């Protein structure tokens, strides 16, 4: 088997395995399922940016920005980043045909 055929077979195996695993978990997946997650991501983005704005204002007022403020900002970024990563994983699953869409 040449490299090209092997790579095509690997891609097919990955696609089939993912479809077999994921599709039954989301039997009636539709665009309506995306609305709550997009709102959750927008809310997380807003919280992250609001926290950044809050500590920026503290800095403008001459207050020292310490580790506690940075930790809160980091935690909000981690939440936002994880939600984005999950959304991208779902996007990939849809684009690659792992899920049937109503």
**CA angle in degrees (0–180, nearest 5) for 90-96-91:** 20
Look at residue 102 and tell me if it is in a domain. Answer: no
More confident residue, 33 or 68: 68
User: Residue 101 — very low, low, confident or very high, per pLDDT cuts 50/70/90?
Assistant: confident
Quote the radius of gyration of the chain (alpha carbons, Å). Answer: 21
Listed in sequence order, the DSSP H helices in the chain are 3-22, 34-60, 67-95
Domains held by the chain: number: 1
Look at residue 34 and tell me if it is in a domain. Answer: yes
Look at residue 45 and tell me if it is in a domain. Answer: yes
pLDDT tens digits along 49-83? 999 999 999 999 999 999 999 999 999 999 999 99
pTM above 0.75, yes or no: yes
The label of the residue with tokens 């792992």 reads 98
- CA–CA separation, 66 vs 81, rounded Å? 22
Look at residue 41 and tell me if it is in a domain. Answer: yes
Look at residue 101 and tell me if it is in a domain. Answer: no
- CA–CA separation, 17 vs 3, rounded Å? 21
Question: What are the residues whose beta carbons fall under 8 Å from the beta carbon of 39, sequence distance 6 or more?
Answer: none
Look at residue 59 and tell me if it is in a domain. Answer: yes
Look at residue 100 and tell me if it is in a domain. Answer: no
Domain housing 44: 3-95
């Amino acid at each position: 088997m040449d490299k090209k055929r092997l790579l095509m077979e690997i891609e097919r195996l990955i696609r089939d395995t993912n479809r077999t695993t994921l599709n039954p978990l989301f039997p009636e997946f539709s665009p309506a399922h995306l609305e709550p997650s997009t709102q959750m991501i927008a809310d997380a983005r807003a919280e992250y940016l609001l926290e950044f704005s809050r500590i920026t204002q503290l800095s403008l007022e001459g207050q020292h920005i310490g580790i506690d403020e940075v930790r809160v900002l980091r935690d909000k970024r981690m939440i936002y980043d994880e939600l984005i990563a999950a959304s991208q994983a779902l996007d990939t699953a849809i684009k690659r045909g792992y899920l049937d869409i109503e």
